[in-house]
Amino acid sequence: MKIAVFGIGGVGGYVGGMIARQGGDVSFYARGDNLRAIQEKGLTVESVPLGTFTVRPKIATGEAKEIGIVDVLFVTSKAYNLHEVCTEARPMVGPGTVVIPLLNGIALSAQMEQWLPPCIAADGIIRILCHLQAPGQVYHQTGGRIVLGVREGAVPPPLCEMADLLNAAGIPAVVSENILLENWKKYVSMCGNSTIFCWFDGPAGLVQKTPGHEGVIRAIWGELVAVAAAKGVAMPKDTVETCFQQFEASAPETVTSLYRDLCNGKAAGQTELFHLVGQMALWGKETGVPTPYHQAVWEKYSTKNS
């Protein structure tokens, strides 16, 4: 399969790097200093569970036409510039191309279909802790499992082939017939954690030491589960408790990429603040479900980082 990865940050670097390490036909679409570093020295992935390795993709470029139409396109940018990404990626997309977004959001394939040429628009979920620590250098702490699917619940053969390829490359991957539920599971985790870090204004260790934090973080996840139910998605009954236990087991330094971006002074519009926290506050108003914690965090940071 001819594969391209659009956006070589933490997620894109990990996925593209693992495929390239296996000898897959993969091209990287990157920009700026990151692109120059990859072109000159390759991409280095420093992985806690897997060790450190360096790969050179078939093509590393900032010109989609140079890559051409591919069988599978992974989109690993941020949700706030998804329209721009789809526009730039059009030369890589043909009728048989499977487009898989690996970013935070619900059923992003529906949005992307509006901006892409005819293709097979899928959805993907990856649970991973990784980031771009320097141009051409990705740090992978843990995770990496990918779930693939399409909104209609079908299982297109190319998606199964891609899952097989990912597994062969060392990335656990499955195809789900209920990708919407899987989307919500990831969204609840990411949005809840980001809201918690923003509310307490600190990493997991600070939150865990704060008296009474248990009630607050359970309430935050309760808001998410209630909104999901109002939108017709029944989350597992133990979702709040499972999220709580996972958070309590987090390393003290743990934060989400959204909180990290906000702490680094990024403007709200150049982060996933709306697509995670703001979207939940909006859905709360639309469904009549109270979301006071998400609303407060959205109002604070959308103004503070505007």
- Return the residue matching tokens 């490359």: 169
pLDDT at 156 (0 to 100):
84
Dist. CA 60–CA 40, nearest whole Å: 10
pLDDT at 139 (0 to 100):
96
The ranges assigned to domains in the chain are: 2-177, 181-304
CA dist 236 to 54, 188, 229, 262, 276, Å? 40, 12, 10, 31, 20
CATH superfamily for 181-304 is: N-(1-d-carboxylethyl)-l-norvaline Dehydrogenase; domain 2 (1.10.1040.10)
* Ranges of residues in the chain whose predicted pLDDT is under 50: none
pLDDT at 306 (0 to 100):
61
pLDDT at 75 (0 to 100):
97
pLDDT at 105 (0 to 100):
81
Residues 69-96 pLDDT 10s: 999 999 998 878 889 999 999 999 999 9
Residues 224-279 pLDDT 10s: 999 999 999 999 999 999 999 999 999 999 999 899 999 999 999 889 899 899 99
Fold classification of 2-177 is: Rossmann fold (3.40.50)
* pTM score of the predicted model: 0.85
